[in-house]
Amino acid sequence: MDHETDPAAHVPAADGSTRSAFLRRAAATGAAAAAGGGLLTGAGSALASGGKGGPGARRDASLHDRLNRTSHWDLNVADLARARAWYEGTTRLRVVAETSADQDFPSLGIRGGRFEGVMLRDSDEDANAPMLHLVEWKNPAPVGVAHASYGHVGFNRMVQMCVDLDATREAVIAQGTQPILPNSDFIRPPLHPQFPSSRYTAFTAPDHEGVFNQFFGLGVERSLLYMNFNTADLDRNLPFFLEVLGLDFSTGISQPPPGSPNVYGGDGSNSTFDGVFMLARGNTRVNHDYLQWDVSPSLATPYREPTHRGMVRCAFQVDDIDECHRMLRANPWARKRRFTFSRPEEWDFGSAFGSRRVIELRDFEGIRFQLIEQPAYPFAQLHPFGYDPPGAKR
């Protein structure tokens, strides 16, 4: 790795709430919306990150203009066939490519690594839609179990929409897994000062690895709509996404005390959180749901091993991996050794997905990300407005 992380301790308020910082993020979002675009960096970033723009607050320091889209999430599994059956049996996700690899992975510290996998995409979406990559490591073998808590730092939950909540619940049970609680049906307080209250009709169920899948009964089928990952300190760690990766800040969200019913298990009490929704270059196909729950500061260690069972990584497609590496080296946050990144290396995923050059990243807390270079086909070319130009409707 070119740089080492610096996990300096920072203890938030005892109840996990950063309400005043959330209000600043909400104000910044409103100003950006009034200007007709998503929140960028600079002064807006300083507001979004609680007034702390940091050394990397300039837009030209981030990878924003190199991002094409969100490519996929890597979910390490113990049994590939069983995992595939679960997702194809409960969601709109279908296999679009089989993957396999047999090589050294220097950025992961693995010699003679081998895995087999499948890429799944929503069957109603085109080739630019994000995917879920189910990976069964053969060497080294997968280790550990997925995080047991909804609030653990790292990737933890994905949101699917369904037409019939009861029928989907039956499908989950038919796959040999059990929803955590009965279907919820309550009015949730607004997540943002400009949002209304909303009816919350959903249930949450773990897959065979224990990864939380939340199903909302909204009368439509849609997969990978929101992808959740958690932080122990939102304001300290948000600059990585705005000022290193260059994601667009979409909106600030919050459930301050008394919170809303905990639908992920626990003791039956309410849960609280502060967070943000973020987009890759304005691409509205998926929201990156980044939250600090009330319990997250006490569960601050993400997956360390790259072969750990569970959702371990998010990959972003970029247009030029060498230019990304140059920009990462020059980023002011890298000079402070706040995140790690590898040199570019080639991963051969097999004939269906091909060989791709990648950079392995770990954020301020050690959560894994990857940059993966676009293949040479027309619809992957970088567009100046991303895949959802201003005014586009889906």
CB 273 within 8 A of CB 294: yes
Supply the pLDDT for residue 382.
56
**DSSP class of 143:** B
350 inside domain: yes
Is pLDDT above 50 for 239?
yes
Domain that includes residue 87, residue range:
1-6+14-372
Is pLDDT above 70 for 190?
yes
Supply the pLDDT for residue 25.
52
Number of domains in the chain: 1
Mean pLDDT of 207-226: 94
Supply the pLDDT for residue 375.
86
For the chain, the residue count is 394
Burial of 159 (0-12, 13-18, 19+ CB in 10 A): buried
Burial of 174 (0-12, 13-18, 19+ CB in 10 A): exposed
Of residues 177 and 266, more confidence is placed in: 177
Is pLDDT above 80 for 364?
yes
Q: In percent, how much of the chain has pLDDT > 90?
A: 71
User: Quick check: bond before 344 cis, omega within 30?
Assistant: no
pLDDT grade for 387, boundaries at 50, 70 and 90:
low
Of residues 303 and 385, more confidence is placed in: 303
Supply the pLDDT for residue 188.
87
39 inside domain: yes
Closest CA to 345 of 327, 359, 326: 359
Query: Taken in order 15, 30, 288, 199, is the CA torsion positive or negative?
Result: positive
Supply the pLDDT for residue 46.
33
Task: Report the alpha-carbon distance of residue 341 to residue 362 in Å, rounded.
Answer: 6
302 inside domain: yes
Least confident of 131-145, 188-202, 315-329: 188-202
Beta strands per DSSP E along the chain: 67-76, 93-105, 110-122, 131-139, 154-162, 184-188, 198-206, 212-217, 222-230, 248-261, 270-280, 283-293, 310-318, 340-341, 345-348, 355-362, 368-373
78 inside domain: yes
pLDDT grade for 131, boundaries at 50, 70 and 90:
very high
Least confident of 19-28, 55-64, 93-102, 122-131: 19-28
Supply the pLDDT for residue 21.
56
385 inside domain: no
Supply the pLDDT for residue 33.
34
Query: Taken in order 4, 337, 304, 225, is the CA torsion positive or negative?
Result: negative
- Helices within the chain (DSSP H only): 19-34, 43-48, 80-90, 165-174, 234-239, 321-330, 332-335
- The CATH number that applies at residue 80 is 3.10.180.10
Of residues 29 and 331, more confidence is placed in: 331
What's the pLDDT tens digit per position in 220-236? 999 999 999 999 999 99
Three-class DSSP category at 69: strand
92 inside domain: yes
Which is it for strands 198-206 and 345-348: parallel, antiparallel or unpaired?
unpaired
Supply the pLDDT for residue 193.
85
What's the pLDDT tens digit per position in 53-105? 333 344 568 999 999 999 999 999 999 999 999 999 999 999 999 999 999 99
pLDDT grade for 377, boundaries at 50, 70 and 90:
low
**CB neighbourhood size of 94 (10 A):** 16
Supply the pLDDT for residue 241.
97
Residue 25 dihedral angles phi and psi, to the nearest 5°: -65, -40
User: Quick check: bond before 140 cis, omega within 30?
Assistant: yes
Supply the pLDDT for residue 194.
83
Rounded to the nearest integer, the mean pLDDT of the chain is 85
- Helices within 49-153 (DSSP H only): 80-90
Least confident of 24-28, 45-49, 54-58, 324-328: 45-49
394 inside domain: no
Mean pLDDT of 285-310: 96
What's the pLDDT tens digit per position in 29-67? 443 333 222 332 222 233 333 333 333 344 568 999 999
CB 100 within 8 A of CB 350: yes
